[in-house]
Structure 1
Amino acid sequence: MNQRFVEAFYWVATLRSMTRAAEKLFMTQSAISSRISALEEELGVLLIDRRDKQQFSLTNAGVRFLSYSERLMALHRQLRDELGTEDGSAHLLRVGAVESALHTWLIPLLKHLRTEHPKLELELTVEITPVLLEQVKRGNLDLVFAASSLAATGIRTRALPPMAMVFVGPTSMKRREPYSLAEIVSQELMTFQRGSQPHVALLELLRGAGVEPPRLHTVSSIPAMVRLIESGFGIATLPYVAAKTLVRGHDVAILPCDTELPALPLHASYRLDPSSSALAAVVRGALQFIDDFVAGQSAGKRAPRAAGSA
């Protein structure tokens, strides 16, 4: 049985699309279709139900063979590992992340991966959570760091340490005594994109406290928010770890507040390739690096409420 044919079927079945499987394997859709047809002819059964052109579905035989295909790919990978014949070519890892991760541990992580895996090729996408989750679900990304988890066939999700959030304003507002939430909200506020977790969490916090800012602006870029803060445009909600770095190079300050902002939850969602032990090792190493990085940061970290009183 041709291993390439099995691999083609596995990705078609898990991504539920010949088009997306072709993109994943860098092949044409016709080549994928030919491999599936050849596999069906060899097995003597249809694996994909082609009657409904609008909805992808496997036949009963296809559902059963999907389990076998994953095991065959894993066995083939183990054989290569045992015999020392692992493919020595470069491996591509497509990573997606929300803006908050980009300005905290993502860049150190990518530098670490480049050092640990010299042959690794990286593709980085920075997007909002719904887009990232849809991309990893469709097979366009291998590993995403987003504000929500994902439950889907072939996808694994692991919770990461949440990010503490703080209010950041111009240095002219810096003081040791905590602001009241009402004082903070008397200014115009900025947060991330409409519908994002920080945006929704801030709205719920303000409604629960019965306060409302003159205006609530949504900005997708942390550098843009920093420039706006420096210009006196308003106060922004930012991850504490990112804010600690920004205050050293910009005319901004963390503003202590008697009300803590909800932390930003983060999850890693990824789709492992049963045929590659190398990419599985990369993902494991990436998650371990994040755990270690956050642990190192939290060793000297103060609660957001007191962060500006240092």
Structure 2
Amino acid sequence: MNLRFVEAFYWVASLKSVSRAAEKLYLTQSAMSSRIATLEDELGVLLLDRAGKQFKLTGAGTRFLSYAEKLLELQREVKAEMGSGQAMAVSMRIGAIESVLHSWLIPWLEKLRADHPGLELELTVETTPILVDQIQRGTLDLVFAVLPASSEGVRNQALPTMEMAFVGNPDLHKKRNYRLRELADMELLTFQKGSQPHVTLLDLFRSHQMEPKRVHAISSISAMVQLVQGGFGVALLPRAAVERLTGFARLKPLTCDEKLQSLPIHASYRTDPSSKTVEMVVQSAIAFASGGKSHQKGARKSHKGKPLPSKKSMT
């Protein structure tokens, strides 16, 4: 039995789509369909119910799915046991929100590459709803987002939360401490409407019976930083991102008399019975993010003097 065909069936069943499974395995849809058909011929049963418009496994397909997972797990164990000790090739499709990108993601990827020189990376920076949809559809292997994904075959792990801070222009915001009412009278910048930072910012003021003068929804940290530098207003950003960005931007964290809600971060990833690569990468990310302060100092120093990133991606 060709295990490549077993793997094809496993991902078709897991992602409930021939086309999405083909995309994951870098195959054409016709090649994927051919592998499934060949496997069905070998087993002498139909694995996919092709009668209706909705994806559905046959009874035999449902039974074979558990065998397919066991076969792929056994293949992984054999490779690990009989391997030559060569460096592991790591191919990952990773997605992240901007808050993670501008805090610990890049130095972590640098460490991951150092630990695994064979790293082949596809990186997507998007909003949480888009990232969650992509991990559920199987177009990404691992995402770092505010919300966990909820889908069969997807696991979630909470990462350390990100402390938030107001940040202003040091030439304009000279006070050491600011009261919430003072901040309410300023032009405020935060992420897009409906995002966790945007919602919690409004809730913070409303819980104190205040209505901020104006809240601007900006989808890019780079844009917010440049607006703050230009004197446009005060931004609400992850403190770790602010500390890293101060290597090439003049920013001043503003102390507020009210505690700000931290930004939750979750790692969501799809399990793969044929490889432990994703689990290894997730644990590496958790360990790195948990030791964030020392990593951020080193990263800030190494990036000092570089131009401000201009990528317009959403958080």
Give the TM-score normalised by structure 1: 0.90
After superposition, give the CA deviation of every residue in 1:110-131 in whole Å (9 maximum; x if it has no partner): 0001100000111111111001
The 1:25–1:248 alpha-carbon spacing in structure 2 relative to 1, beyond 3 Å, is closer
The equivalent of 1:108 in structure 2 is 107
Whether contact under 8 Å (1:186, 1:213) holds in the other structure is yes
The equivalent of 1:26 in structure 2 is 26
Please give the residue correspondences for 1:162-173 in structure 2 after superposition, counting only pairs within 5 Å: 162-171=161-170, 172-173=172-173
The one-letter code of the counterpart of 1:18 is V
Alignment partners' CA distance in 2, 1:85 and 1:48: 38
Of the structure 1 ranges 129-138 and 85-94, higher mean CA displacement relative to structure 2 is found in 85-94
Whether contact under 8 Å (2:142, 2:278) holds in the other structure is no
After superposition, give the CA deviation of every residue in 1:97-150 in whole Å (9 maximum; x if it has no partner): 010001111011100011000001111111110011111111111111000011
Alignment partners' CA distance in 1, 2:246 and 2:285: 28
Whether contact under 8 Å (1:230, 1:251) holds in the other structure is yes
* SS class of match (1:5): helix
* SS class of match (2:291): helix
Whether contact under 8 Å (1:247, 1:254) holds in the other structure is no
Q: Which runs of 5+ in 1 are unaligned?
A: 299-310
The equivalent of 2:35 in structure 1 is 35
Whether contact under 8 Å (2:15, 2:137) holds in the other structure is yes
Shift of 1:90: 4.1
Of the structure 1 ranges 77-86 and 26-35, higher mean CA displacement relative to structure 2 is found in 77-86
Whether contact under 8 Å (2:154, 2:270) holds in the other structure is yes
The one-letter code of the counterpart of 1:197 is Q
Shift of 1:88: 6.9
Alignment partners' CA distance in 1, 2:11 and 2:199: 36
Shift of 1:58: 1.3
* SS class of match (1:256): strand
The equivalent of 2:132 in structure 1 is 133
Shift of 1:297: 6.7
The equivalent of 1:175 in structure 2 is 175
Alignment partners' CA distance in 1, 2:85 and 2:269: 22
The equivalent of 1:58 in structure 2 is 57
The one-letter code of the counterpart of 1:13 is A
After superposition, give the CA deviation of every residue in 1:124-178 in whole Å (9 maximum; x if it has no partner): 11111001111111111111100001121111100011001011111121322x2
Of the structure 1 ranges 278-287 and 253-262, higher mean CA displacement relative to structure 2 is found in 278-287
* SS class of match (1:166): strand
Q: Percent identity between the aligned chains?
A: 55
Alignment partners' CA distance in 2, 1:204 and 1:24: 40
Alignment partners' CA distance in 1, 2:296 and 2:76: 37
Whether contact under 8 Å (2:267, 2:282) holds in the other structure is no
Whether contact under 8 Å (2:269, 2:278) holds in the other structure is no
Of the structure 1 ranges 88-97 and 265-274, higher mean CA displacement relative to structure 2 is found in 88-97
The one-letter code of the counterpart of 1:93 is M
Count matched residues.
Answer: 296
* SS class of match (1:255): strand
Alignment partners' CA distance in 1, 2:277 and 2:124: 21
Whether contact under 8 Å (2:87, 2:116) holds in the other structure is no
Of the structure 1 ranges 82-91 and 250-259, higher mean CA displacement relative to structure 2 is found in 82-91
Whether contact under 8 Å (2:49, 2:55) holds in the other structure is yes
Shift of 1:41: 2.0
Whether contact under 8 Å (1:147, 1:266) holds in the other structure is yes
The one-letter code of the counterpart of 1:9 is F
The one-letter code of the counterpart of 2:78 is L
Whether contact under 8 Å (2:102, 2:245) holds in the other structure is no
Shift of 1:91: 3.4
Whether contact under 8 Å (1:181, 1:257) holds in the other structure is yes
Alignment partners' CA distance in 1, 2:87 and 2:5: 21
Whether contact under 8 Å (2:243, 2:296) holds in the other structure is no
